[in-house]
Structure 1
Amino acid sequence: MMTFHPLHEQPPRISTPAPQPVPVGSSHDGRGAHQGLRPCWAAHGRRHAAHRHRGRPFEISDGKLEISTPPTPWHQITTRAVQNLLDARYPSTLSDVPLAVGDNGRRPDVIALELTREEILDRRLTIALPDMVKVAVEVISHDPDPRRDAIAVRRDRETKFAEYASVGIPEYWIVDEIPDDPRDATVEIFRLEAGRYRLASTAKLSDLTSRAGTPRIASATPPEATSEEL
């Protein structure tokens, strides 16, 4: 996931009435109203609207708004490769879409859904629910600052690891850089067993994409352990 920094500045005032809580479900009555809402999203409604207006992505963690920094080219290219890979396995995939996780709001880099694209459009989805998601993916973006980098890595490898398991998402993929190969990435595939994620396989992204017939971001090396489905 992209590195996030807490929001310190006061967002600008907006003249429109305070928005309704951000929806956590797919219900939409066609008139702009949503059903199935979380109080925690309502508490930050005005700030949410302001930053959506600015086009700045955010997450909510323990009631705090965290604004993301722009993704690096490596992050964008890698995320696209992972999404292409999952597109071949699931009815639909989405990137950087809000996901309601208990009282927190996350934005996985990629999610694979059991819904078709037509169902997504017909339901006018704005936020995904955990029971729609088959795979959640976080692509780690390392920060030059050691302290911020440690926070970002811990968020993906510990905090979200526990959160996604707690809401029953069947698979969690953590994608990370390979220090001596800027064109490739490692993919750790965790599967939910008895309420906890257990490592099922680790592979290079180039191996997974080449086996699936999707564009590779690096020259193939001898295959490592891969997911059973790939």
Structure 2
Amino acid sequence: MTALPDWMRPPREEGWLAEDLDRLPEAPRHTELIDGALVFVMSPQRWWHGHLVTMLTVALMEQAPADVRVGREMTIKLDARNRPEPDLLLTTADYDADRTWFAPDEVRLVIEVVSPESAHRDRTVKLRKYAEAGIPHYWCIEDEDGAPVVHVYELDEPTGAYAPAGIFRGVLERPVPFEISLDLDKLTPPRRG
């Protein structure tokens, strides 16, 4: 077994901090920080996942109002020890080419497309952390026999937790965070067989 490279050793006893991610050029793409620990997405991405994220990005960009932007592969600095990277997010932040993260108050919607290796984090850990950070909307998208199923959550401000707002198959229509209408069946290629 080979020794860990120096960049993988936490700089302090309590682990990594959110700003440390910007100083780790050797880290793999899509490195997240969860509770002070680095999380690497090491498994190959499934074609279904990548295609769905691309098609959803395009569909949301076409519907987003002028003050909302769709972002991919950007982290959200939830606090000093948490900086997850959702598959997609909708932000009201102004464009800045050098930006590497968003603050929770700049994010209106977070979307996670569940993969086998991310299922626990997407369904439980991130669901709780995004709510605690005050992000108003969360979508968790599952693969149901090749079709996307969107579990939609809205922040219940008195409790600071997400409340289920619906499970969508085939078509998703939502009035928030802006008027959204999606034909979910068109977001993934038809299965042959």
Count of aligned pairs between the two proteins: 168
Where structure 1 has 5 or more consecutive residues not aligned to the other structure, the ranges are 1-7, 14-38, 143-148, 221-230
1:86-114 Cα shifts (integer Å, max 9, x gaps): 32134210111111111211000000012
Greater relative contact order (Cα < 8 A, sep 6+): 1
The corresponding residue for 1:167 is 133
Aligned mates of 1:9, 1:44 — CA distance in 2 = 21
Aligned mates of 1:131, 1:114 — CA distance in 2 = 9
SS in 1 for 2:52: helix
Matched letter for residue 30 of structure 2 = P
SS in 2 for 1:197: strand
> Deviation at 1:12?
6.1
The corresponding residue for 2:36 is 63
CA contact (8 A) 2:105 2:134 kept: yes
Distance 1:163 1:9, change over 3 A: farther
- For 1:190, which of 122, 134, 153 is the aligned residue? 153
The corresponding residue for 2:25 is 49
Q: How does 1:74-223 map to 2 (within 5 A)?
A: 74-87=48-61, 88-90=63-65, 91-102=68-79, 103-115=81-93, 119-121=94-96, 124-142=98-116, 149=117, 152-178=118-144, 181-182=145-146, 184-194=147-157, 195-204=160-169, 206-208=170-172, 211-212=181-182, 216-217=186-187
Aligned mates of 2:126, 2:18 — CA distance in 1 = 18
Q: Which has the higher strand share?
A: 2
Distance 1:75 1:218, change over 3 A: closer
Structure 1 length as normaliser, TM-score? Answer: 0.64
Aligned mates of 2:148, 2:53 — CA distance in 1 = 10
- For 2:5, which of 8, 11, 20 is the aligned residue? 11
Matched letter for residue 105 of structure 1 = R
Distance 1:218 1:96, change over 3 A: closer
CA contact (8 A) 1:12 1:50 kept: no
Aligned mates of 2:87, 2:113 — CA distance in 1 = 6
Rg comparison, structure with higher value: 1
Distance 1:60 1:211, change over 3 A: closer
1:136-169 Cα shifts (integer Å, max 9, x gaps): 0110012xxxxxx5xx322111110110001100
Where structure 2 has 5 or more consecutive residues not aligned to the other structure, the ranges are 8-15, 174-179
Percent identity, aligned pairs only, is 23
CA contact (8 A) 2:18 2:77 kept: no
1:183-225 Cα shifts (integer Å, max 9, x gaps): x210011000121111111112x423994479813599xxxxx
Superposition RMSD in Å:
3.0
> Deviation at 1:45?
6.3
The corresponding residue for 2:10 is none
Aligned mates of 1:100, 1:76 — CA distance in 2 = 24
Aligned mates of 1:93, 1:192 — CA distance in 2 = 20
Q: Which has the higher helix share?
A: 1
SS in 1 for 2:171: helix
